[in-house]
Amino acid sequence: MRLLGFTIFLFYAVFSHAQSYRGLSVVSTKTAWVSGSKGSILRTINWGKSWDTLNPKDYAGKDFRDMHAFSRKKAVAMSSGDSGVVIITRDGGKTWKEIYHDYRPGSFLDAMDMYKGKLVLVGDGILHQKMYQIRAENVLKNDSLKAFTIFAKDRKSYYKQGFQPDSTSSYFAASGSNVQWTGKHNFCAIPIIDEKSIFIRVSDNLIRFRSRLPFKQQKAGGAYGFYMHRNKTGVAVGGSFYKPNETDSTACYTTDGGRTWTPCQTMPNGYRSGVCAHKRGKIWVCTGPSGSDYSTDAGKNWKPLFYVKGFNVCTIRGNSLWLAGKASARIWLKDLLKVQREAEINRSSPRGTPPRY
């Protein structure tokens, strides 16, 4: 009955519609925003007990795969696919303002991250090499992204920054987890270059270094998301979107800020698109449609979370784990680990596996 009680608790703070949710931004222990397909944007201000529908008018066909919130009133959302847009609200979702729109055929916005009002946006289709990054200042105060920088905006500078001029480059539009600010002028990203997963660190508009991620080359395969912790430990997750249950080459870790990467000793149990860590780095969680996993050694070894499935993205804020996918949930980490340990003991006991609820 204790497992059943946990299952009910786990899905108490859940909403589920026909949409798929890939954007997640947690502001505080009470407030979080999610976004997804069919122009859907929702917000909770009471720990996930209820959710307000804040879908922006005239964007019903958009797939908002990433978003970043600053408070219960201010948030920015990004849509992927052709004719991608970036919109902002400053009044809690009552009104939305379009601040960027790319009408060019083939352009594709993949992910974004914010740092004290600064925005970095990555995607495909603007350059001949099919990769671009945009930076903007003071997004909360401006009504457009007119002041932006396209890194490596010509073939000469592209070559100087460590890329071959004719490289085929792009990003995966997973769950907004392939770009991350790591300081006032620094961010990291994981593009796919010539079908290889690459980690890059950008500082003051220049690529300071790049490194190869040890993912197997395969169809729709490679690194989909990463998280860089403040002590230079980091984890990148992925695999093949078309092989969600394949456990080979689904994650790797770094201990030197991304300069070198090592395949995990025990891999996550399938394709994963999102990864996060507690602020102290004691527990890491990764998630994907087929399931979720956790690590207590900074990503070197992973164990399956038996009751956490069907999600695309995760975030740990305080002592809570937030997830979004086919539904959304907030879970107390202490309860999650307690029940997880009980489940692991039961599954290894002679009595067999516990019942499913």
What is the extent of the structural domain holding 253?
1-16+214-357
The angle subtended at Cα 41 by Cα 35 and Cα 43, nearest 5°, is 100
Q: Quick one: which of 274, 292, 294 has its CA closest to 284? A: 294
Burial class (CB in 10 A: 0-12, 13-18, 19+), 33: buried
In a domain, 161, yes or no: no
> Which residue did the predictor score with more confidence, 128 or 19?
19
In a domain, 344, yes or no: yes
Report the mean per-residue pLDDT for the chain. Answer: 84
Predicted confidence band of residue 337 (pLDDT cuts 50, 70, 90): confident
Q: Residue by residue, what is the 3-state secondary structure of the chain? A: CHHHHHHHHHCCCCCCCCCCEEEEEECCCCCEEEEECCCCEEEECCCCCCCEECCCCCCCCCEEEEEEECCCCCEEEEEECCCCEEEEECCCCCCCEEEEECCCCCCEEEEEEEECCEEEEEEECCCCCCCEEEEECCCCCCCCCCCEEECCCCHHHHHHCCCCCCCCEECCCCCCCCEEECCCCEEEECCEECCEEEEEEEECCEEEEEEECCCCCCCCEEEEEEEECCCCCEEEEEEECCCCCCCCCCEEEECCCCCCCEECCECCCCCCCEEEECCCCCCEEEEECCEEEEECCCCCECEEECCCCCEEEEEEECCEEEEEECCEEEEEHHHHHHHHHHHHHHHHCCCCCCCCC
pLDDT of residue 55: 97
In a domain, 319, yes or no: yes
Q: pLDDT exceeding 70 applies to what percent of the chain?
A: 81
Domain count, the chain: 1
In a domain, 134, yes or no: no
In a domain, 197, yes or no: no
pTM higher than 0.85: yes
Statement: residue 10 has pLDDT above 60: no
> Which residue did the predictor score with more confidence, 82 or 339?
339
Indicate the range of 69-78, 151-160, 171-180, 300-309 predicted with least confidence. Answer: 151-160
241-251 residue pLDDT tens: 999 999 999 99
- Which residue has tokens 């299952």? 7
257, 234 in Cβ contact below 8 A? yes
In a domain, 292, yes or no: yes
Indicate the range of 53-57, 115-119, 204-208 predicted with least confidence. Answer: 204-208
What letter represents residue 201's amino acid?
R
What letter represents residue 141's amino acid?
K
> Which residue did the predictor score with more confidence, 42 or 147?
42
Statement: residue 64 has pLDDT above 90: yes
In a domain, 115, yes or no: no
In a domain, 65, yes or no: no
101-150 residue pLDDT tens: 877 766 788 899 998 888 888 887 555 544 556 766 677 777 766 545 55
